[in-house]
Amino acid sequence: MDRNAPIGVFDSGIGGLTVAREIIRQMPNERMVYFGDTARLPYGSKSQDTVIRYSRQIIRFLKTQNVKAIVIACNTATACALEAVKEDLDIPIIGVINAGVRTAVNSTRNGKIGVIGTAATIRSDVYTKELKKLRADLEIIGKPCPLFVPLVEEGLWHDTVTDEIASRYLSCLKGKYIDTLVMGCTHYPLLRSTFRRVMGDEVTLVNPAYETAIELKALLEENGLSCTENPGEDQYHFFVSDQAENFTNFATAILPNEIQETKQINIEEY
Amino acid sequence: MDRNAPIGVFDSGIGGLTVAREIIRQMPNERMVYFGDTARLPYGSKSQDTVIRYSRQIIRFLKTQNVKAIVIACNTATACALEAVKEDLDIPIIGVINAGVRTAVNSTRNGKIGVIGTAATIRSDVYTKELKKLRADLEIIGKPCPLFVPLVEEGLWHDTVTDEIASRYLSCLKGKYIDTLVMGCTHYPLLRSTFRRVMGDEVTLVNPAYETAIELKALLEENGLSCTENPGEDQYHFFVSDQAENFTNFATAILPNEIQETKQINIEEY
């Protein structure tokens, strides 16, 4: 495996860009190929079988780009598909759940952890299972928050309506006196300041995007896969299954660099 | 063609149920096969090519159910795909746009009509084009309202947050003194009371679901396709591409009858 090959990152759409952003910040020399499944988003309302089928198609596409490792930058796809797709893959693959789980367990003092995410992520109970594997006596309170993704995508990152919806969604978590809140959807770091305001300074916000980039860096080092050459100009490639122009605008708003181009592919061919 | 065969109705998900509801109310003897493309919703963020491809798959499926006529109960699919799919079809097919357009033109007194819908419907400009075909001097103000669908699907049909979002979306239409507002998305009739409150009693709300059922009834009569026998117990069949149970709950909330069963199919096989 070529250590200077790109990292493959995928998500159902734009949310995974918060993970891509952390990878760019923490590993500025690494190349990256990002795929956003914008034709078939959101994954949060889909069944496990469907999400596994979609993830397999995307991984087949990323392999055509010679990626050296893959990050599933999507909580729903990690929850539904990581274990299934890992089996038949010959390169390292990580999701966005493990790193956040480890950080949450290390952060909590009172053992009460809240998890927010899409309906599918919370329904899958993956955070509860993974957190309890590390510490069985934890009390985990999961809360599905289906409106946060459309609010982020409508640009209401700092808005009274988002505050109101957040107050409603998070009130049950405040009532349980959690001291740690896992942002279990990749869109959610963009609403961090709202969560901070609603939850107060006492609660630790865990950002799995940030933690996952740290995990990826260690994984590449362990496997002798860290990039050693200057990536040059052609460092980042973005692909989507639909609406390339919208994606480019959103990516430019989220990432540190301006995005020149997003290519559209027919993912169902893979 | 068997006049006692079912009517085929499809949508990207649950929104088309407002059209199904009107068909059930206005033609209580007709059989119906409904397909909701819940695995691939929402169509509103997808490109025209993608929506045409999906619509063709669904029509192939509905033909396996021997439908005698098809209603595209989805504004996005009507806007993007009706003309394209009509060409190669041997049974009557209508969308949800024409009937609403005719009613809006007949209703307006000052010639200023507002249209609300998903980003794709408004971007397609289909309402403006169709309205101006009937009356060239109309002033049409289109407004994309991406949050209404998730608000409806979160059950916030009567809620202060929905009121606030509606006030923001609709303020530009109020400022233009429209006297007629077309609800250009099949979810929106469920927010009718909010629109009524925000827009005031002076503005006529056009519900294309209601108007489309009237158009369908006339079309069946013209073509000698109105049902003549008692439909018996097995009158309605519901199919989705994902999340059958959620769909059943939603359909039961919207339709006059309780839904017994929703079958899940793999629409990509058609």
- Model ipTM value: 0.82
Phi and psi at B202, nearest 5°, equal -75, -25
Model confidence at A43, in pLDDT bands (50, 70, 90)? confident
Model confidence at A118, in pLDDT bands (50, 70, 90)? confident
pLDDT at B83 over 90: yes
A74, A80, A145, A227: the catalytic one is A74
pLDDT at B118 over 90: no
pLDDT at B44 over 80: no
Span A40-58, average pLDDT: 88
Query: What pLDDT score does A92 carry?
Result: 97
pLDDT tens-digit readout, B90-107 = 999 999 999 999 999 999
How far apart (Å, rounded) are the C-alpha atoms in residues B86 and B84? 6
Tell me whether residues A150 and B153 touch, CB distance under 8 A.
Answer: no
Model confidence at A214, in pLDDT bands (50, 70, 90)? very high
Query: What pLDDT score does A150 carry?
Result: 92
A80, A145, A185, A227: the catalytic one is A185
Span A179-192, average pLDDT: 96
Residues 6+ apart with CB under 8 A from A240: A13, A35, A36, A37, A38, A39, A247, A262, A263, A264, A265
Query: What pLDDT score does A255 carry?
Result: 95
Span A1-20, average pLDDT: 96
Model confidence at B121, in pLDDT bands (50, 70, 90)? confident
A&B contacts, CB < 8 Å: 54
Q: Which of B243, B264, B265 to mutate to test the interface with A (most CBs of A within 10 A)?
A: B243
Least confident range from A121-130, A200-209, B29-38: namely A121-130
pLDDT at A20 over 90: yes
Q: Which of A38, A46, A118 to mutate to test the interface with B (most CBs of B within 10 A)?
A: A46
Tell me whether residues B40 and A40 touch, CB distance under 8 A.
Answer: yes
Query: What pLDDT score does B70 carry?
Result: 98
Query: What pLDDT score does B47 carry?
Result: 80
Instruction: State the first-to-last Cα distance of chain A, in angstroms, to the nearest integer.
Output: 22
A80 assigned to active site = no
**Model pTM score:** 0.87
pLDDT at A204 over 90: yes
Model confidence at A79, in pLDDT bands (50, 70, 90)? confident
Q: Which of A80, A159, A243 to mutate to test the interface with B (most CBs of B within 10 A)?
A: A243
pLDDT at A19 over 80: yes
Between A232 and B235, where is the model more confident?
Answer: B235
Query: What pLDDT score does B105 carry?
Result: 98
Question: At which residue do the structure tokens 């916030």 appear?
Answer: B156
CA A233 to chain centre: 26
Query: What pLDDT score does A258 carry?
Result: 87
Span B134-154, average pLDDT: 96
Tell me whether residues B242 and A50 touch, CB distance under 8 A.
Answer: yes
Give chain A's contact residues with B (Cβ, < 8 Å): 38-41, 45-47, 50, 146-147, 149-151, 153-154, 160-161, 164-165, 242-243, 246, 268
Taking CA atoms, what residue in A is nearest to B39? A46
CA-based nearest distance A99→chain B, Å: 29
* Average pLDDT of the residues of chain A: 95
Any idea where the domains of chain A sit in the sequence? 7-95+210-269, 98-208
pLDDT at B154 over 80: yes
Query: What pLDDT score does A225 carry?
Result: 97
Query: What pLDDT score does A165 carry?
Result: 98
pLDDT tens-digit readout, B212-236 = 999 999 999 999 999 999 998 889 9
Query: What pLDDT score does B16 carry?
Result: 97
pLDDT at B182 over 90: yes
* Residue B227 three-state SS: coil
Element (DSSP H or E) covering residue B97: none
Q: What is the CATH code of the structural domain delimited by B7-96+210-269?
A: 3.40.50.1860
Query: What pLDDT score does B155 carry?
Result: 92
Tell me whether residues A147 and B150 touch, CB distance under 8 A.
Answer: yes
B74 assigned to active site = yes
Q: Which class for A157: exposed (0-12), middle (13-18), buried (19 or more C-beta within 10 A)?
A: middle
Q: Which residues of B touch A37 (CB under 8 A)?
A: none
Cα A85 to Cα A38, A62, A92, A169, A266, distances in angstroms: 21, 13, 11, 32, 21
Query: What pLDDT score does A260 carry?
Result: 87
What is the percentage of chain A residues whose pLDDT exceeds 90? 86
Which residue in B39, B50, B146 is closest to A150 by CB distance? B146
Which residue in B45, B146, B165 is closest to A243 by CB distance? B45
Query: What pLDDT score does B48 carry?
Result: 84
Taking CA atoms, what residue in A is nearest to B156? A147
pLDDT tens-digit readout, B7-33 = 999 999 999 999 999 999 999 999 999
Q: Which residues of B touch A50 (CB under 8 A)?
A: 39, 242
Residues 6+ apart with CB under 8 A from A208: A75, A96, A97, A99, A100, A103, A182, A183, A184, A186
Give chain B's contact residues with A (Cβ, < 8 Å): 38-41, 45-47, 50, 146-147, 149-151, 153-154, 160-161, 164-165, 242-243, 246, 268
Model confidence at A209, in pLDDT bands (50, 70, 90)? very high
CATH number of the domain at B98-208, out of 3.40.50.1860, 3.90.226.30, 1.10.287.180, 3.40.50.10490?
3.40.50.1860
B80, B145, B185, B227: the catalytic one is B185
Span A244-255, average pLDDT: 93
Q: Which class for B175: exposed (0-12), middle (13-18), buried (19 or more C-beta within 10 A)?
A: exposed
Query: What pLDDT score does A128 carry?
Result: 96
Note the CATH architecture for domain A7-95+210-269.
3-Layer(aba) Sandwich (3.40)
Span B172-183, average pLDDT: 97
Question: At which residue do the structure tokens 């993956």 appear?
Answer: A126
Query: What pLDDT score does B185 carry?
Result: 92
